[in-house]
């Protein structure tokens, strides 16, 4: 992999970006997050040639891993998009603590992701899982806590709103456009991840989004789901 030279050199001169606390998310006050956002924004047409970013987390992940070989830069760039919707996420949106089932066990892993809107947290917690995935960077191999969904390519209800050729080749994941782990699609990174403790699980349960709002959303019939990506990601991931 080659490290892309930023087209936004002037942005690198910015002071620390002050973040507005937004809909109950933890603030992110990091100039590097602002840089990452603008770099991905400038690469939008390369990532989504047809302009369709619906459920485009996997496309962002593929682009970043293919083009950035510095581990720290890779992590920063993976904070600048929502794994569920494929929307760019400005650092002023903040981050949210969630728990995901570990792919190889029944354990829960807690960590942060950067949502474009609150329903994406609920959809991840119900329909995604996570695993430690080995990746190669400058300086050697690192393990990242990847966010995964099942291979959606054989779904009878594959959502028409999603660019199928960006994900699939027949009933298989397209190895030219996606990265996978054990035949599960990688859509993003769970940041600062660790095994869930009772304290972390309590924090998630008591949070107004990951607690009350997600309990309501995740107990609705799929046909009644509104807000966020509606049922697009759910139909892709279930």
The predicted-structure confidence for 9-25, as pLDDT tens digits, reads as follows: 333 333 323 333 344 56
Q: pLDDT tens digit string along 85-144?
A: 999 999 888 999 999 999 989 999 999 999 999 999 999 999 999 999 999 999 999 999
Confidence (pLDDT) at 223: 86
The pTM of the full predicted model, rounded to 2 decimals, is: 0.87
How far is Cα 212 from Cα 141, in angstroms, rounded to an integer?
A: 39
How far is Cα 34 from Cα 96, in angstroms, rounded to an integer?
A: 17
| Domain boundaries, given as residue ranges, for the chain | 16-237
Of the chain, the percentage scoring pLDDT greater than 90 comes to 78
Confidence tier at 28 by pLDDT (50, 70, 90): low
Q: pLDDT tens digit string along 61-75?
A: 999 999 999 999 999
How far is Cα 238 from Cα 227, in angstroms, rounded to an integer?
A: 18
Of the chain, the percentage scoring pLDDT greater than 70 comes to 87
Contact (Cβ atoms closer than 8 angstroms) between residue 188 and residue 62: no
Confidence (pLDDT) at 17: 30
Average pLDDT, the chain: 88
Q: At what angle do helices 57-67 and 31-42 cross, to 10 degrees?
A: 100
Confidence (pLDDT) at 226: 83
Confidence tier at 26 by pLDDT (50, 70, 90): low
């Amino acid at each position: 992999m080659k490290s892309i030279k930023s087209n936004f050199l002037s942005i690198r001169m910015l002071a620390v970006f002050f973040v507005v606390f937004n809909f109950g998310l933890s603030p992110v006050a990091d100039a590097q997050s602002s840089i990452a956002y603008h770099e991905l924004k400038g690469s939008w047409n390369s990532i989504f040639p047809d302009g369709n970013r619906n459920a485009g987390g996997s496309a962002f992940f593929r682009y970043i891993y293919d083009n950035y070989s510095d581990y720290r830069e890779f992590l920063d760039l993976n904070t600048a998009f929502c794994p569920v919707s494929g929307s760019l996420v400005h650092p002023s949106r903040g981050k949210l603590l969630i728990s995901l089932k570990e792919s190889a066990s029944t354990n829960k892993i807690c960590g942060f992701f950067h949502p474009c809107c609150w329903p994406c947290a609920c959809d991840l917690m119900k329909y995604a899982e996570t695993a430690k995935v080995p990746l190669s960077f400058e300086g050697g191999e690192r393990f990242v806590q990847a966010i995964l969904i099942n291979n959606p390519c054989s779904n009878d209800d594959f959502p028409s709103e999603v660019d199928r050729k960006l994900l699939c080749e027949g009933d298989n994941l397209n190895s030219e456009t996606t990265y996978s782990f054990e035949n599960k699609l990688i859509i993003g990174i769970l940041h600062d991840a660790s095994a869930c403790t009772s304290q972390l699980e309590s924090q998630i349960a008591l949070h107004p989004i990951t607690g009350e709002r997600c309990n309501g959303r995740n107990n609705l019939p799929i046909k009644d789901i509104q807000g966020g990506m509606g049922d697009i990601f759910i139909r892709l991931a279930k």
